Every structure is written in structure tokens, then in C-alpha cells.
Structure 1
Amino acid sequence: MNPLLRAEQAVLGSVLLDPGQLSHLDWLAPDHFDRPVHRALFAALRKLRADDHPALAADGAVPLSWVTDAVDEAGLHVRGLTAVYAHTLVSACPRPEHAPAYGRMVLEGAIHRSIAQHAVRLHQAARADALRGEVEGALHHADVLSGVLDDLARRWGTEPRPVAPAAPPVTAPPSPPPTVRADQVAEDERFLLAVLAEQPRAMGQVVGWLRPGDFADPAHGQLYRCLGALHHRGEPIDRITLLWEAQRRGLLADGMLSGDQVTAICDGVGPGSAEWLGEQVIRSSVTRTAVTSARTIRGLAENESLSPGQLINHALHALGPLDDVRTRWRTANGHSPPSPAPASSSNGPPPARVHAALARSTPHPIPPSSAPTRSAPGPAVVRSPSRGHS
């Protein structure tokens, strides 16, 4: 028999044997029980207690009316409950005084079940948003899941904090994205890369919030990384320098990219808005990240060996990437101010490394068409647009 089922039966049996045990189970709610008949019976027992049932004041043996009245009350809300099953619950309880321990088992099962259910809803909302080209449904369900995790942490008596699991959870293979939408996402990524290669100034519009990991195609993400590196160093950007940077990073040798791919992306580009295209790319990244987070959390919830505290903290950690891409999505849409420019932060590259990178370009001045948006004689000013946009 399922251990969780035994725990639910033991809780109910302990209260049927000793009504006073309800005073030790105030933190347990009817919806924490998995089976509807158990939920209805526990709710009935709590109602009898609220109504000051005579059994609560009885000394010695518990009157039979405590059992029969509970069955009658629960029978108003669920079918199939009989006095025979109530006596089965009584026999399933080894020790009535252990009711709080049995109740914690029931709550633990409810925590796993609730987190799994909300992860499924997040997954479904993200898939639907991906098909429609939206993000609001996924972000709403992510907020709901985050609130559920905080509430469950308080009920269990633990401090909610993101903690990475020791080993990645086992999850099912990801569902393939809708073909039509996947093709559109790939086209948007290629078009964005072409615009950035053709209009180097446009990098300043997206570099502050768009990351290589936001691209669905890893090759496109690596090509964007190359564009970002050239922009960061203040070097000229065109199809030749882009191809050279890809070779320098080993992308041509390991088969991630080919020269023909780079040429095909750079050729035939028309006018386009890098900012608008970047928003399309990060929008798909939001729903894709939400799907990944949901699948990870569901895998964690289905791992019965995790304690509730571990499960809650690992689930919060799995929501971290979604929180990050959501923040950048809001920045791209003007809902919040852009993050401070990394160039002025203590986490930026050491000055010596920056000057060494810039030195590689000093023999050949940057052509006017490839110059950054803010032109200035010093290399430090040339680098400033690469760190954000306003």
C-alpha cells in the first residue's frame, strides 16, 4: 500500500479514536489530503469540533456518535463513505498520540503534489504563449508558483531560499516546439544577426538586455556572442571580422558554424529594427525558459526522496533563470530602467585586459560606418555604448 495513503488513514483514525488530537493538527487543512473522501472526512471532523460536539467533552471512551456524525457530515459532500470505512480508518492507526507525525507525512505529500500541479500549469501556459507569441500567461503562472512555494515554506516551517540540487533532476525529453512558431523564431534570429552585422551601431540597442542564451539556435547565440565581443572591444564589424572572430573562438573547427552560414546570414539583409527583432528573440526566450523551469520543477516534485524543504528550495532555484530573462524582457519593453552599465561596475574586465583587447584594433582605424553611436577620441568612450542602452 502507498505510504501516503497509510499516513492519511492514520491521521483520520487517530482523530476518530481521540477527538482531542485535532488541537495538534490546526496546521493541517482538508485539501492537504489526496483522496476526496479523506478531505471530506477531515473537514467534517473539524466542523464537529467547531460546533462543540459532545464527544470533545467526554471523559474515557469516545462515544460512537463522534464517528457516526462525522460520517454523516462528510457524506453530504462526497459519495461512498460508510461507517465500515470509518472503522477501517480506526484500525489503520497504530497510535493516536502519533497524529502530528502522521499529519506531517500528509503535508509532505501535499507539498510534492501541489508543486507538481503548479509546474504542470506553468508548462501548459508557457507552451500556449509560445504558440501565440506572448509571455503574460507564463509569467502569471510563474508568479503563482513562486507564491505557492513561499506559502508552503511557511507551512512547513522552513526559510525559502534558492538552493541548487546536488545532481540535476531527471526530466522527460522536452516536447518539440510548434513547427510554425519555431520557424518564425529562427527567421527572427537570423534577421537580427544580419541587421547587427550590417548596422554595427544597432548593437547598442540590444546589448544591454539580450544574451546569447536567449537564442533558440545555439549557433545563432554563438554568432551573437562574436558580435558582442567585437562591439565590446570597439573593433570593426562586418562579415569578414565576424567570420574571423568565429574562427578565433573555434566555432568553425568544432562544426558549430560554417563560413557559408555566416555569409548567408550577412548577405541579402534589408532594413530592419534591431530593437524590435531583439524583443521577438527575448520573448521566445521567456516562454522557452519557462518551459524548462516547469519541467525541472516537476521532475523535482516527483522525486519522493526530497524533503519538503529541499524541494521548495530547489524549485526556487529552478525559477531563477526565468526571473533573470523576465527582468531583461521588461527592460527591453521599457517597463523598468536598464541595469547599470557593467563598464562602471566592479565586475567588469580588468583595465589591462581591456587595453590589450583594444590594442589589437589600433593599427586600423574604425571605418565611419562601423563606429559606435557615441564617437570620441579615447578608447574608453568608444566602449561605453557596449554596456547598455537608454
Structure 2
Amino acid sequence: MNPLLGAEQAVLGSVLLDPGQLSHLDWLAPDHFYRPVHQALFAALRKLQNDGHPALAAEKSVPLSWVTDAVDEASLHVRGLTAVYAHTLISACPRPAHAPVYGRMVLEGAIHRSITEHAIRLHQAARADALQGEVEGALHYADVLTGVLSDLARRWGTEPRPVAPATPPATAPAAPPPVRADQVAEDERFLLAVLAEQPSAMDEVVGWLRPGDFADPAHGQLYRCLGALHHRGEPLDRITLLWEAQRRGLLADGTLSGDQLTAICDGVGPGSAEWLGEQVMRFSVTRTASTSARAIRSLAENEALAPGRLINHALHALGPLDEVRTRWQTANGRQAPTPTAPVPSPDRPPAARVHAALARSTPRPVSPPLARPGSAPTPAAARPPSRGHS
């Protein structure tokens, strides 16, 4: 039997045997079940609980009406459910008192499934934006995925924080061929030509455009050479650019060739470095979103990965997209939104403890966080997430 199917049947069977178990499953929602018939039945049981069904007050045996009323209510929303299947669920439950454990198994399956679905949507939105030359769809679904991860972390009972996996996912699919590759390559070559022939144009893009934003690694290395010359205040033309490329070993290792660099510089015409840089950045956003989505999907499809680690690894995979988004907003003259502080709830850890945990997991380039005398900081990746429910 599929373990997830067995867990769904067991949790429903335990509630049919003991209606009081519903009070220990407040964190479990109907849509956490995979099968529609299980979703409808759990929603029906929850409705009977809210309506104050007499079975909830039964001290000894549970009346048969608890089962029949649940089946009748669920049958209004799904087809094929009979009392026979309800008794099958009852026989599938080893111990009714283990309902919270069975429920956590259902929630764990829902976490993997939900993250997979939202990662697929993010990937599809990124591909669609790349075709249309837009970024808003990908950024919207990235925000949706972030919100889903935060909600799942709350339900699972862990603090959402980006944590890098010990090893990259072994089953990560290969990157698909770039969308509109010819147009993107042409924009990159044109931008490099403008920057080589108009040294002052570097000031328009150097603050937010990075070598990694170029789809062609050779173009990214050439932009790195331009940035180095600009940073050192040295003259910038095709000769100094060729010399810088040679000093960095780009000609010797075959990354660039003299003919390739000459072809880029000879094709120069009037153009706006800022506009061309935004075109490169636009595709960088969608490409990064697609890469993050594939990485998250690969993580979510690993059933051996614990939910807390899956959520935190998925947040880490969204980090590069957040960094590119910030620079994209800078290029468009928009200020990046300031993250709001989380509002502590009564069943969450104290705010001081959460703040300390976040401080330990956030890099501080200027000064290290304060620590209590005689204690050593614990690496964030080495602390397993809490799994407790209140």
C-alpha cells in the first residue's frame, strides 16, 4: 500500500471511530488530503463537529449516525462515496489515539505536493514571461510561493528561514534551451559594443548589472573585463579590453577569441546602454526564476526530505531570484519593498528567541552577532527544525 494513502485512510478512520480526535487535528485542512473523496469526507466531519453533532457528546460508544451523517454530507460534494468505504477506513486505522501522527503524515505529503505544484507554476510563468519579454508574472508567482512556504512552515511548526542543502539536488533537471536565445544574444552583443565604444555608458549600468545576468558566459566575462577597467579608471576601448581579457586568461582557455571581441566592437551603432541593460536584466529575472523553480521542484520530489528542511531549502533556492529582483527594481527606479517583521502568535516561540535564531542564520558582513559568554554559535544548517504542534 502507498504510505500516503494508508495515512489518509488511518486519520479518517480514527476520527470515524473517535470523534474527539478532531480536536487534536485543528492544523489539518481538507485540501491537505490527496484523494478528493478523502477531502470531502474530512470536510464533512469538520462540519459535523462545528454543528455540534450528538456523537461528540457520547461518553461510551459512538452512534452509527456519526458515520452515516458524515457519508451523507460528503456525498453532496463527491461521487462514489458509500458507507461501505467508510467502514473500510475504520478497519484501516490501527489505533484511533494515533490520529495526530497519522495527520502529520498527511500534512507531510501535502507539503511536498503543494511545493511541487507551486514550483511548476513559477516555472511556467517564467517561461511565459521570457517569451513575452515580461517579468511580472514570474515575480508574482515567486511571491505566492514564498507565502505558501511560510504558511506550510507555520502549520508544520518550524521557523521559515533559508538554509542551504548540504549537497545540491542530485535529480535536478538540466536547464532547457534559452527562450528567444537569438534576440537575447543580440541584445547582449549590442550592449557590450556600446559599452566598449562609449566608456561613459558604464555609469548607467554598473550599479545594477552583473556578469551573471548575461545568458552567454563569454559575454558575462567580457562585461567583467569592462567593469574592471572602469573600476580602475583606466582607458576603455577595444585594445585595452582585449588586453584585459588576455590578462584574465580568457583568450588562453578559449572563453573568448580576438575575432569574437573584434566582431562585437565592430558592430557598434548608436544605442542606449541603460535600455539594453534592462533588456538583459529582464531575461536574467525570468532565467533565474526558472532555475529556482526547477531546483525547488527537484527538492520537493525527494520524498526522503523532511518537511522542515524542504521548506528552508526551498526558501534558500529563492534567494538568487530575490537578489536579481532587487537589482531589477533598482534599474527601473523602484525601491525594493522592506520586509515586515513577523507578528508573533500565542502558540509560537517568544519573539526574542525567534529574533536570536534569525540573527544566527543571517550573514553579517560588518560585525558578528553577540553571543552569551561561554557559548558557541550553532550553525543554522546543523539545527533540525522543530516539529511540535500545540
1:169-225 deviation line (CA, Å, top 9, x unaligned): 1222222233xx211110000000000000011111100100000000000000000
Equivalent residue, structure 2, for 1:133? 133
1:155-177 deviation line (CA, Å, top 9, x unaligned): 11111110000111122222223
Residue type at the aligned position of 1:167:
T
1:10-48 deviation line (CA, Å, top 9, x unaligned): 000000000010010111110110110000000000111
Distance in 1 separating the partners of 2:221 and 2:215: 11
Are 2:100 and 1:100 aligned? yes
Equivalent residue, structure 2, for 1:3? 3
Residue type at the aligned position of 1:145:
L
Distance in 1 separating the partners of 2:271 and 2:87: 74
Equivalent residue, structure 1, for 2:274? 275
Secondary structure class of the residue paired with 1:262: helix
1:85-121 deviation line (CA, Å, top 9, x unaligned): 1111001100000000000111111111111111000
Equivalent residue, structure 2, for 1:319? 318
Distance in 1 separating the partners of 2:240 and 2:48: 79
Return 5+ residue gaps in structure 1 as ranges. 338-345, 348-390
Equivalent residue, structure 2, for 1:143? 143
Equivalent residue, structure 1, for 2:287? 288
Equivalent residue, structure 1, for 2:195? 196
1:109-167 deviation line (CA, Å, top 9, x unaligned): 11111111110000000000000000000000000001111111111111111000011
Q: Is the 8 A contact 2:190 2:267 kept in 1?
A: no
Distance in 1 separating the partners of 2:152 and 2:57: 33
1:328-373 deviation line (CA, Å, top 9, x unaligned): 0010011128xxxxxxxx88xxxxxxxxxxxxxxxxxxxxxxxxxx
User: Larger Cα Rg: Structure 1 or Structure 2?
Assistant: 1
- What is the TM-score when the length of structure 1 is the normalising length? 0.85
Equivalent residue, structure 2, for 1:231? 230
1:54-94 deviation line (CA, Å, top 9, x unaligned): 11111211111111111111000001111111111001100
Structure 1 position 237, deviation (Å): 0.8
Q: Is the 8 A contact 2:130 2:283 kept in 1?
A: yes
Which residues of 2 match residues 98-247 of structure 1 at below 5 A?
Answer: 98-169=98-169, 170-178=171-179, 181-247=180-246
Residue type at the aligned position of 2:59:
D
Secondary structure class of the residue paired with 2:192: helix
Distance in 1 separating the partners of 2:107 and 2:231: 52
Secondary structure class of the residue paired with 2:253: coil
Structure 1 position 299, deviation (Å): 0.4
Structure 1 position 52, deviation (Å): 1.2
Equivalent residue, structure 2, for 1:28? 28
Distance in 2 separating the partners of 1:52 and 1:204: 69
Q: What is the percentage of aligned positions where both structures have the same residue?
A: 85
Distance in 2 separating the partners of 1:194 and 1:232: 18
Secondary structure class of the residue paired with 2:148: helix
Equivalent residue, structure 2, for 1:75? 75
Distance in 2 separating the partners of 1:322 and 1:268: 32
Equivalent residue, structure 2, for 1:334? 333
Residue type at the aligned position of 2:97:
E
Distance in 2 separating the partners of 1:177 and 1:4: 37
Secondary structure class of the residue paired with 1:77: coil
Residue type at the aligned position of 1:46:
R
Secondary structure class of the residue paired with 1:78: coil
Are 2:264 and 1:256 aligned? no
Distance in 1 separating the partners of 2:75 and 2:174: 43
User: What is the RMSD of the two structures over their aligned residues, measured on CA atoms?
Assistant: 1.1
Secondary structure class of the residue paired with 1:97: helix
Structure 1 position 306, deviation (Å): 1.0
Residue type at the aligned position of 2:220:
G
Residue type at the aligned position of 2:172:
T
Report the count of equivalent residues: 337
Which residues of 2 match residues 13-92 of structure 1 at below 5 A?
Answer: 13-92=13-92
Secondary structure class of the residue paired with 2:182: helix
Residue type at the aligned position of 1:159:
E
Distance in 2 separating the partners of 1:63 and 1:177: 62
1:211-248 deviation line (CA, Å, top 9, x unaligned): 00000000000000000011111111111111111111
Distance in 1 separating the partners of 2:275 and 2:49: 61
> Which deviates more, 167-176 or 252-261?
167-176
Residue type at the aligned position of 2:287:
R
Equivalent residue, structure 1, for 2:12? 12
1:277-298 deviation line (CA, Å, top 9, x unaligned): 0000000000000000000000
Distance in 1 separating the partners of 2:17 and 2:249: 72
Distance in 2 separating the partners of 1:261 and 1:177: 21
Secondary structure class of the residue paired with 2:303: coil
Structure 1 position 268, deviation (Å): 2.9
